[in-house]
């Protein structure tokens, strides 16, 4: 989800206004996803690199995340949405960590839509943490080097119990992947749109999902004649 700050700046408003508008847009996309056949939806809210932003913006974003979780908890439960978080939580404030754990526990049995939110998430950081875990297991004699496979690495990632993404959408005209799910998205289809996230509607999502449905996915193989 990219372009919140630019959306606000273009209108002469503070960047945090754009972030609040972006949080509202998440609601619409979450509502629309199940009807489009989307079972798993992962959104990138705050990267490991976003700490470089101003203190005011970072604190404002953390407050928005906390309010969103609090306000959406009842609706997520009512609509059978399971909510999870990926990323290193150790740098987040204790209150936000408690809210994350609370809504994860509360929605753990739901299955209509699996909503995953990346907060303090970075793909390289995730892989580094996974490698450290495996290295500790090797040092302890629990895993032999020859037993390290791509499946074992996947089991140590934040997304261990989630399927790999089929489709990755980046808004705001940027055409880079920005450290988002680099391991998991190895065979994903990508869509880049000029639309800023606060303007990205359910209709935009439906159009992109429709195009995805017509793609031929070979995963390195050849489709039989």
Are the C-beta atoms of 19 and 60 separated by less than 8 Å? Answer: yes
Q: Is 11 annotated as a binding residue?
A: no
Helix, strand, or coil (residue 114): strand
Q: Is 53 annotated as a binding residue?
A: yes
2 assigned to active site = yes
- The one catalytic residue in 50, 125, 166, 179 is 50
Q: Is 51 annotated as a binding residue?
A: yes
120 assigned to active site = no
Q: Is 75 annotated as a binding residue?
A: no
Q: Is 79 annotated as a binding residue?
A: no
Q: Is 213 annotated as a binding residue?
A: no
Sign of CA dihedral 70, 92, 160, 179: positive
Cα 165 from Cα 176, distance rounded (Å): 17
Cα 51 from Cα 178, distance rounded (Å): 14
Q: Is 80 annotated as a binding residue?
A: no
Phi, psi of 79 (to 5 degrees): -100, 15
Which residues is 118 bridged to in the sheet?
44, 86
Q: Is 48 annotated as a binding residue?
A: yes
List the binding residues for Mg(2+).
Answer: 2, 189
List the binding residues for substrate.
Answer: 3-7, 15, 19, 47-49, 51, 53, 170, 176-178
List the binding residues.
Answer: 2-7, 15, 19, 47-49, 51, 53, 170, 176-178, 189
Positions annotated as catalytic residues are 2, 50
């Amino acid at each position: 989800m990219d372009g919140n700050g630019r959306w606000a700046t273009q209108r002469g408003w503070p960047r945090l206004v754009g972030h609040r508008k972006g949080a509202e847009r998440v609601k619409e996309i979450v509502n629309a996803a199940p009807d489009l056949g989307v079972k798993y939806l992962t959104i990138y809210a705050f990267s490991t690199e976003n700490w470089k932003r101003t203190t005011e913006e970072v604190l404002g974003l953390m407050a928005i995340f906390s309010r969103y979780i609090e306000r959406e908890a009842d609706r997520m439960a009512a609509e059978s949405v399971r909510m999870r978080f990926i990323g290193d939580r150790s740098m987040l404030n204790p209150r936000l960590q408690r809210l994350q754990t609370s809504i994860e526990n509360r929605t753990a049995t739901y299955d209509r839509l699996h909503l995953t939110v990346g907060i303090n998430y970075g793909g390289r950081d995730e892989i580094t943490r996974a490698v450290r875990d495996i290295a500790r297991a090797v040092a302890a004699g629990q895993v032999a080097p020859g037993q390290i496979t791509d499946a074992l690495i996947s089991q140590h990632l934040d997304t261990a119990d989630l399927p790999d993404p089929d489709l990755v959408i980046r808004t705001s005209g940027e055409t880079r992947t920005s450290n988002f799910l680099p391991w998991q998205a190895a065979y994903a289809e990508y869509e880049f749109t000029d639309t800023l996230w606060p303007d990205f509607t359910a209709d935009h999502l439906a159009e992109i999902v429709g195009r995805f449905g017509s793609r031929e996915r070979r995963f390195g193989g050849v489709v039989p004649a």
